[in-house]
Amino acid sequence: MIGRNAYEKMISRNERDNLELVLGMGGGYVLDFSDRTFNDFFYETLGIDPQEQTSFFNGRGTSKAKRLRSFIERASPSLVAKLLREMWEYREGLPYVTPLPDEERARELFFSTVARIEGRTDAIDTSAIEAFEPNETLEELVASIRRDLDANKPQAGIDRLHTYCMKRFASLVKKHGGGECGRDDPLHSRVGKYVKLLQRQRDITPLSERIIKSSISIFDAMSPVRNDRSLAHDNPELVELEEARFIFDSVAAFLRYAKAIDGRYFED
């Protein structure tokens, strides 16, 4: 689990006090959101369902303010920045919001905080690496991957990324009618089964189809890297930092696509 001071380390005390004042986070609240409308807001603005994608929200407690603080410290900077901008727009639309003593100064500091978060371009987008079903082992796997990335050590997380993909694609194949993946089915085989489901169940452009098909060979090539250049075994050297970042970014891109089309857009 991410340390409880991650939120405080990411945002200075002055920024934090202003952000929480603007968003009405006293007493565990966030603006005028109920639990239901809080969840709806995340789904409508970011495509994230807090009830299903709990790994973003379960680090601090159950109040809306604590769940928002957890999201800020766990989600990618781009998602956090987008959420905060949308929350400001929502706040401005409230007919009964109490103006702050210095509304203009609060606005300036709020958006300077957002801009600083948004500028953290070094962060790998982990929004699609999530606990996709209630499972303690899966949650710890996701948390361990994020710990490595937070420490800027993606090379240390290659092995666990491979394990996560094994679980994720087995789940997707089963969910969408492809049956059970065997315990010994390699990663590229699981991805291949998922790609066939995509081709059969969705109308995709030739360009997207080509990119998706190429992903099978990418995941096939991931296994030797996992075996020979990760902490999966007593290997003499790991993948170099920048290459490890490139691997994470490439794999995460496909996972984000799978996440985006899953559920609402993927017809059984």
In DSSP notation, 109-166 reads HHHHHHHHHHT-TTS---TT-S--SS-HHHHHHHHHHHHHHHTT-GGGGHHHHHHHHH
Of 52-56, 58-62, 142-146, which gets the smallest average pLDDT?
Answer: 58-62
For residue 109, give Cα distances in angstroms to 16, 53, 119, 121. Answer: 10, 30, 15, 20
Q: How far apart are CA 192 and CA 254, in angstroms?
A: 13
* Closest to 266 in 3D by CA, of 188, 190, 180, 178: 178
Nearest to 147 by CA among 234, 81, 73, 77: 73
pLDDT of 18 over the 60 cut: yes
What percent of the chain has a predicted confidence (pLDDT) above 70?
92
> Is the distance from CB of 250 to CB of 244 less than 8 angstroms?
no
Higher local confidence (pLDDT), 84 or 200: 84
Model confidence band, residue 267 (pLDDT cutoffs 50, 70, 90)? very low
* Per-residue model confidence (pLDDT) at position 121: 52
- For residue 6, what pLDDT is reported? 62
Contact assessment for residue 161 and residue 145, using Cβ atoms and an 8 Å cutoff: yes
Model confidence at 2: pLDDT above 50: no
Mean pLDDT across the stretch 173-202? 91
Q: How confident is the model at residue 122 (pLDDT cuts 50, 70, 90)?
A: low
Query: Which residue do the tokens 């948004």 mark?
Result: 118
What pLDDT shows up at residue 67? 93
Can you give the pTM of this predicted structure? 0.58
Average pLDDT over residues 147-173: 89
Answer whether residue 36 shows pLDDT above 90: yes
**What pLDDT, in 10s, does the model give residues 64-118?**
999 999 999 888 888 898 999 999 999 988 888 778 888 888 998 999 888 888 7
Mean pLDDT of the chain: 86
What does the pLDDT average to over 172-179?
Answer: 91
Helix (H, G, I), strand (E, B) or coil at 90: helix
Which of 17-21, 37-41, 263-267 is predicted with the least confidence, judged by mean pLDDT? 263-267
Cβ atoms 161, 155 nearer than 8 A: no
